[in-house]
Amino acid sequence: MWGKRDDMLVHERDPFNAEPPRAALAGRRTTPPDTFYSRNHGPVPDLDPAAWRLTVDGLVEHPLDLSPADLRERFDEHEVAATLQCAGNRRAGLAEVRAIPGEDPWGPGATSTARWTGVRLADVLAAAGLRPEAAHIEFAAPDVSRLAVPPQPYGGSITVDKALRPEVLLAWAMDGRPLPRVHGAPLRAVVPGWIGARSVKWLTRISARAEPSDNYFQATAYRVLPPDADPAQAGPDDGIPLGPIVVNCDILRPDDGARVPSGPTEVTGYALAGGDRTVARVDVSADGGRSWTQAALDDGDSPWTWRHWRTTLDLPAGEAEIIARAWDSAGAVQPESPVHLWNPKGYANTSWARIRLTCT
């Protein structure tokens, strides 16, 4: 479906929600489009590029109405390597603690990396002339979600501070080729370091506002609610609205549940810091966290990508649990247990990564 590899783990076909298996992400700095996770809240729009326009309005001096050619001709092209990660990444670990009805049990594969090409959102906003009272930039798209309350097109917003940063793009290409339709053609937002939900696909409108977007996916969903909250009753005053990502990691090889020969075993994975932080260290343990081995980290293709890590553990025969945790550049480290992170919508599972192995 949608040009994806055959071994994608498809959580839903409509809306299309699918992630690659761990092995497909392992050892690859960028994730090919056929492997990149796909998170959708409604049907995938089929926009005619010849008719498509981007409207820029709201708290701006000069509203804009831009064609694809306008975007390419009026603004400098930029490329940014960036990892996107769904706020529901690793939800499966929370769902093991307590059921999370109505939400897909994403594994660690709702995290993927590409080189994105387009124009800087900051340049487009400068052309429109942001008014001083603009504090948030709203993205709107035409994909109507029946899951929203009430049903509505997908949307969301980011702060002006973030919107003006050079890494935030309006992108028309992914790894040097035109965006596939399922990834947002003809134009999508790419907001590195923030939850994937803010990298809105099929962009048709950008509005400068004094307040965050009123869209359901900003004002109600994508919030860490207290454990005893009823998500059906939660509104804009409840919970922690998610924006910047928090440091996280997972193990990609061996696969969870694998049988491996005992003895020296290479363990690899990814870590992502999020926000404006970078990954500083990854620790791996085979004894429940009593002792840790520091993994070797690759450089990452930019400050906005994951860093792959690897280490070798000497595993005795028998059952083993391998744990990994990442530290960010501010010295924050992942908390231990998903038990204490459980929340009704199952977001932000930043607990230690764990896989079980049978060593023979």
Q: Is 239 exposed, middle or buried (0-12, 13-18, 19+ CB in 10 A)?
A: buried
Q: How far is the CB of 278 from a second copy (least distance, A)?
A: 10
295: tokens are 């993994």
24 or 197: CB nearest a second copy: 197
Contact 271, 309 (CB under 8 A): yes
What percent of the residues of the chain are helix, what percent strand, and what percent coil, each to the nearest 5?
Answer: 10, 40, 50
Q: How far is the CB of 314 from a second copy (least distance, A)?
A: 17
189 or 323: CB nearest a second copy: 323
Longest dimension (CA), the chain: 68
Strands (E), 303-352: 307-315, 318-328
Q: How far is the CB of 331 from a second copy (least distance, A)?
A: 4
27 or 227: CB nearest a second copy: 227
Q: Which residues bind a second copy (CB under 8 A)?
A: 224, 226-227, 240, 242-247, 274-275, 277, 280-281, 283, 289, 292, 294, 327, 329-337, 340-341, 347-348, 350
**Identity (one letter) of the amino acid at 244?**
P
Residue 334 CB contacts under 8 Å (≥ 6 apart), including other chains: 247, 248, 249, 325, 326, 350, 351, 352, 353
7 or 314: CB nearest a second copy: 314
Q: How far is the CB of 240 from a second copy (least distance, A)?
A: 4
Residue labelled with tokens 């390419």: 72
Q: How far is the CB of 89 from a second copy (least distance, A)?
A: 13
Residue labelled with tokens 């965050």: 212
200 or 242: CB nearest a second copy: 242
